[in-house]
Chain A
Amino acid sequence: MTGNTTLSTGAVSIGIDIGGTFTDVVCVTAAETHILKLPTTRDDPGRAVMAALDLLREHYAIAPASITSFVHGTTIATNAVLERKGARVGLVTTKGFRDILEIGRQIRRQMYDLNLRPETPGWLAPGARRVEVTERIDADGNVLEPLDAASLAAAIATLAAEKVEAVAVALLFSFLAPEHEHQVRAALEAALPGVPVSISSEVDPVFREYERTVVTAFDAYVKPVVARYLSNLDSNLAKAGVAAPLQIMQSRGGLAGGEIARQRPVRLFLSGPAAGAIGGRTAGRDAGLDNLITIDVGGTSSDIALIDQGRVLVKSETEIAGYQVRVPMLDVTTLGAGGGSLAWIDGGGGLRVGPQSAGADPGPACYGRGGREPTVTDASIVLGLLDPAYFAGGTMTLDPALAWQAIEERVARPLGLSVEAAALGIHRIANAHMADGIRLVSINRGYDPREFVLVPLGGAGGLHAVPLALELNINRVLVPRYPGVLAAAGLLAAPIEHEVSGAFLTAIADAKIADLTDALAALDRRADTLMQAERIQGLRRERLTLADVGYMGQSHYIEVPIDLAASDALGNLYRAFESAHQRLNGHKTNAPAKIVNLRVVHRAHRPPVSVGAKPSEGQGLSLKGRRSVLFPGETVRIDAALHDRALIADGERLVGPAIIEQTDSTTLLPSGWSAEVTGGAALLISRSPS
């Protein structure tokens, strides 16, 4: 890190992604890109953000006032749930339905464990804080029974006595007729000033009362925490002289201004994996590739996302702290295999890897923090794949002796193998797990992994990428310029996005274009209001209209585009649904279908920020040394060439076996594969022509 004497004045974009262990920072100026990795400050995550600004000013002369874009991905909402530090929530339901939050859908996820744990987050609002109001809307949206004022007053009195800090309101069929929820909110706001209220007809206006109640209760639970965090961060940024508005990543992969994000905090869960997938997509786009599978190899797990023709798939439900919650999110699948996965011998003398993990603490044996059990990372050290003197962006050094010892004692000796053979075995098994996981994720979504380019992310992604490609018969691997901080880079590539949906329960055959036009226009007005609050000008705007469609009688539905301007709009909708059904489910039935929900997505695309780096001065400069390495799939050690990623020139072609090192990650280039720098300064690894 070299200091500059004059502060930069050009436009500066900053992306900061806070993960469980590290806070990653990408700072892009007109001239160059800086990356930082800081330990996450769990007690107050904003401290690491401010520390990053200090470092950027001191080391790279980035003046806070020059920052024009400040984008943030935060785990604050997730942590509030994991640590049970959210608000004391009260829940208002229709009379007779107070236990919906606790009953849930009655299925369990652990099939063989008899000691069952609750599958529903009833603790968000235990019985004493659940109150009922007398009212009822019917399935056509008609008021069957008006909201009874006395029952409302009694409900509010109970919540006041219970000293609730936030309230969730979820009445039956409110997605068809929200008036009762509006009345309840107005009364609550009048009686309990300062207590935020989340109503289900705004948070998630879609049928199925349990799912709508849970997402609304989570929204209320994290609202005060998120609001506090964002307003502290806002004022600290202002104090530090940052004029740019704070923008927050949502789990669907788009940004929202801090002011708006705090109104809909349930949309902020799991923004990190979403940003990683967006970063992968952008790296692909810059390289001219749009069918990608990203795999982010972390400590305890790996996140897999599939990008089809430049589009990251969206799923309508996700898991928050072990609970299924209906909040849209980029379709990222987590596998229980990562660098910290433990290698162990089972009772039958078989070698197993994971699903248990050494976690961040004590971590792998080579961390020297008291971990005695060998992990995948320890195997990487034994094989010479990693430089023990420089790990996790230089924040740690590792002790190879501890890695050797752990593998020797726990794996090699019991199995009668050499330590190196055991380490190779651990890698082989971990790679088999990841490859099998990628195969299932692809197949379940109707794709063949061989038609995709693999994009490794995270510090360890590059260690596994080519072995995985070999397992999966994938021919190309794209390593982004900064794979270790790609989520932070993804923040800078994401559009500002607001999505609004509403129920529209009609058979396609009965749907009228005029009704659909009106319904979409109403959703557009709400999305416009949100976009106007972003106070953005001059950005390229995009509007998507979508419909959730299912066969009559089917409880599942698929999101497909709907274009009312086209001739035969409903015929197109039906055909788009059937072809999606064919891809996802392997068949279509030609049976009548129904629209379930309508959705509009408004986006404003910010000018592309190039997360590149100064190109290397010339060819042949990158070779920085050699190391004895035992490549996965080989049987003998070789003296492998070590290349410095920053010094690989455009147009230069490296041929394996080699190892490519950079501050945030390490990439294996086994023999039979070659690498060259491609668009967006990424490294494209391909099978060498034989």
Chain B
Amino acid sequence: MTGPTPTHRNETAGDRFDPITLEVIRHRLDKIAEEMQATLLKSSCSPIVKEGLDASASLFTLDGTTLAQACAIAIHLGTLIPAVAAIIAKFPVDQMREGDIYILNDPYCGGTHLPDFAIVMPIFAGAGQNARPIALAATMTHHQDVGGKTAGSVPTDSTEIYQEGIRIPPVVWARAGVFDETLTAVLRLNVRIPDIFIGDLHAQVAACKIAAVRLGEAAEKFGHNALLASFSVLLDRAEAMTRAALQKLPAGTYRAVDFLDNDGIDIDRRIRIEVAVTIKDGMIHFDLTGSSPQVKGPINCVPSGSLAAACFAVRAITDPAIPNNGGCFRPITLTLPEGTIVNPRAPAPVNARTATIKRVTNTMLKALAGVAPDRVPAPNSGELLVMAWGGQRRDGRMFVTGELLAGGAGAGNGFDGVDAIETDATNCMNLPVEAMELDAPIRVRRWELVAGSGGDGQFLGGRGQLKEYEVLEDVAGTMSYSHRGERHFVAADGLAGGKPGGLARSWITRADGREEEIPSKIVTRLGPGDRVVITTAGGGGYGSPESRDADAVRRDIADGKVLPAIVDRASTSNSGS
């Protein structure tokens, strides 16, 4: 796949434009996107939107270039670009009518994974005969459930997309304000909680409508033509700034390789992510040739995921003051060979692609570490351990709980990596012990940072975390437990002589004392008295360990960050009771 191609720059329009009005418009567009996002978050019902912030809102030009976007997590960066492209390819903008609403979720045609539904709406300015489209509003929300084989629509063991939920190509949901009730009825029948699903889709529509009102006000205030002219100037400027920033970086091709543990099905096969980044003439090209073929399990990742990773990487290594619009993305191109983990062929399953996006992001940054040494630290653990428990209490009440746990961040030149913190494409909270124990028949026995798990170096990688859970007697029979880990087999590398971070490791100690290693990913059952101990991975260290400041080493020992001897982590499974 090739990224958006640079368009011809309109020098004269840029030179003529009043720079003050332009800045006021730019700021306005950003705030419209923020207001869309606020509306989206406020009017959605699903916890994953309200608390996981898994939603985004954007304004697009009529040719499908991002004008402004608001997303609380980077996995949504640029994620609507393929969705809008798919819509306008099928429904030409000049045939759109005011009040039209378009919808899709097909990962193989503009989408990401099935829970993410995109809604696109044209924005018109002027009244009556003079009304004409000036922009597109688009939103994407991760819905709580879109059908498929398991509640929540993220089955860790799916082997084809048909198991993952309902699949909607780019279609019209409302024509000139009139909803297609047939489509609504079909959608309702295919999801587990139709009221919440349709409610959240309407929250997306409400966010687009807010954009229409606000952009309409701006068109009134600044004039349609001036507003439209300002769009291209703003995009050209962001593009020029991004190119200028890229031109300051040394030209060349930079490579890195990293691995995902496995796909959850074929446990012993590591999954290769290979990246060659070429910086040249103010352009940046990400070639993922050499990455593993697509896999049976659901960690395949359609191209929008690598685009989000590339957008994140470019923003991170260029000037953060560059306005965040599609102009920044024009210098980016991608090669994602078909049939690989980063561009699978249908009907490969894709629901658990987050781990892949995180690793792709990390590998891109690893390749760029030497290019922008002050901006790119050693690799992060790049791990977000996803766990879910569910079952029944003895009194018959059902319970479901889950937890997302991060590892350590990479160290950089001048600072230690942060312990147990979210990095790159995601940003999720952990679950407090007190919240979990109030909700579920599980007791947390220990929660601490893992001494010595940060990569050694002049600056230490961030530590991973250890958490130990015990299943209580209150559970009727057994409960289900799923563990989707990473970094159990391949560590986060160090940088500039720093050592790799510690590996993640998890195991189950059954009530009768038997121990079972968790090979990164598992779906199993737990009974009363069973314990699960998880440890997440550490971040890479920076610089050679010998050059660490002597006072810092004394503090590390006193504070328990490192241990003088090698830690036998297996011994921890018998303590803490």
Contacts and interface: CB of A to CB of B under 8 A. Distances in A.
B49 to A, nearest CB: 11
A439 interface: yes
A623 to B, nearest CB: 33
Contacts of A348: 236-238, 240-241, 322-323
A432 B27 CA distance: 8
Given A112-B74, A113-B316, A589 B50 contact: no
Contacts of B145: none
Chain B residues touching A, range? 35 or more
Contacts of B39: 443, 586
B447 A100 contact: yes
Nearest to A584: B42
Contacts of A112: 74, 312, 315-316, 320
A128 to B, nearest CB: 4
Given A98-B448, A112-B320, A432-B28, A585 B43 contact: yes
Contacts of A116: 377, 409, 417-418, 421, 423, 462
B91 interface: no
Contacts of B22: 350-351
B428 interface: yes
Interface string A410-448: 000001010001001100110011001001100110000
B35 interface: yes
A207 B51 contact: no
A404 interface: no
A436 B465 CA distance: 41
A126 B429 CA distance: 23
Question: Most A CB atoms within 10 A — which of B42, B74, B322, B365?
Answer: B42
Given A424-B20, A432-B24, A584-B42, A102 B419 contact: yes
Interface stretch (A301-309, A490-498, A548-556): A548-556
Contacts of A117: 415, 418
Most A Cβ at <10 Å: residue of B19, B24, B428, B437: B19
B50 A556 contact: yes
A439 B35 contact: yes
B375 interface: yes
Contact of A208 (B245, B316, B427, B434): B434
Interface stretch (B155-163, B171-179, B553-561): B553-561
Interface string A316-332: 00000000000000000
B433 interface: yes
Interface stretch (A103-111, A455-463, A508-516): A103-111
B405 interface: yes
Contacts of A44: none
Contacts of A102: 419-420, 449
A107 B421 CA distance: 6
Contacts of B522: none
A201 B240 CA distance: 56
A113 B39 CA distance: 27
A207 B376 contact: no
B287 interface: no
A96 B445 CA distance: 7
A50 to B, nearest CB: 41
B74 A111 contact: yes
B446 interface: yes
B15 to A, nearest CB: 9
A456 to B, nearest CB: 21
B47 interface: yes
Contacts of A107: 421-422, 427-429
Given A115-B375, A127-B561, A108 B423 contact: yes
Contacts of B423: 108, 116
B449 A99 contact: yes
Given A439-B31, A587-B43, A587-B199, A209 B433 contact: yes
Interface in A195-226: 207-211
Interface in B23-69: 23-24, 26-28, 31, 34-35, 38-39, 42-43, 45, 47, 50-51
Contact of A440 (B35, B322, B427): B35
Nearest to B221: A471
A208 B431 CA distance: 9
Contacts of B34: 440
A115 B561 contact: no
A604 B84 CA distance: 59
Given A99-B447, A107-B427, A117-B418, A207 B435 contact: yes
B406 interface: yes
Contacts of A415: 19
| Chain A: interface size category | 35 or more
Contacts of B406: 106
B9 to A, nearest CB: 11
Nearest to B472: A138
Contacts of B376: 114
Nearest to B20: A425
B387 to A, nearest CB: 14
Nearest to A118: B418
Contacts of A103: 419-420, 430, 447-449, 465
Given A99-B449, A127-B561, A347-B240, A208 B19 contact: no
A421 B19 CA distance: 11
A565 to B, nearest CB: 30
A120 B422 CA distance: 13
A538 interface: no
Interface in B398-431: 405-406, 409, 412, 415, 417-423, 427-430
A172 interface: yes
Interface string B354-388: 00000000000100000000011100000000000
A105 B429 contact: yes
A625 interface: no
B268 interface: no
Contacts of A607: none
Given A97-B447, A351-B19, A440-B35, A208 B435 contact: yes
A126 B556 CA distance: 10
A439 B214 CA distance: 12
A126 B559 contact: yes
Contact of B27 (A98, A119, A436, A444): A436
A589 B193 CA distance: 13
Given A97-B433, A115-B415, A348-B241, A106 B43 contact: no
A522 interface: no
A173 B434 contact: yes
Interface in B306-351: 312, 315-316, 319-323
B576 interface: yes
B128 interface: no
A285 interface: no
A505 interface: yes
A351 B20 contact: yes
B212 to A, nearest CB: 16
Contacts of B236: 348
A424 B203 CA distance: 39
B92 interface: no
Contact of A347 (B31, B45, B319, B365): B319
Contacts of B45: 587, 589
B564 interface: no
A352 interface: yes
B93 interface: no
A349 interface: yes
Given A99-B465, A118-B419, A587-B45, 4 more contacts: A116-B423, A116-B462, A118-B418, A126-B558
9 contacts: A97-B433, A108-B421, A112-B320, A114-B412, A172-B433, A346-B237, A347-B321, A585-B50, A586-B39
Query: Ordered nearest first, which 10 A-B pairs have the shortest CB separation?
Result: A127-B559, A348-B237, A425-B20, A96-B446, A586-B43, A139-B437, A347-B241, A128-B558, A436-B31, A208-B432
Interface of A: 96-100, 102-103, 105-108, 111-119, 126-128, 138-139, 172-173, 207-211, 346-353, 415, 417, 421, 424-425, 428-429, 432-433, 436, 439-440, 443-444, 505, 553-556, 584-587, 589
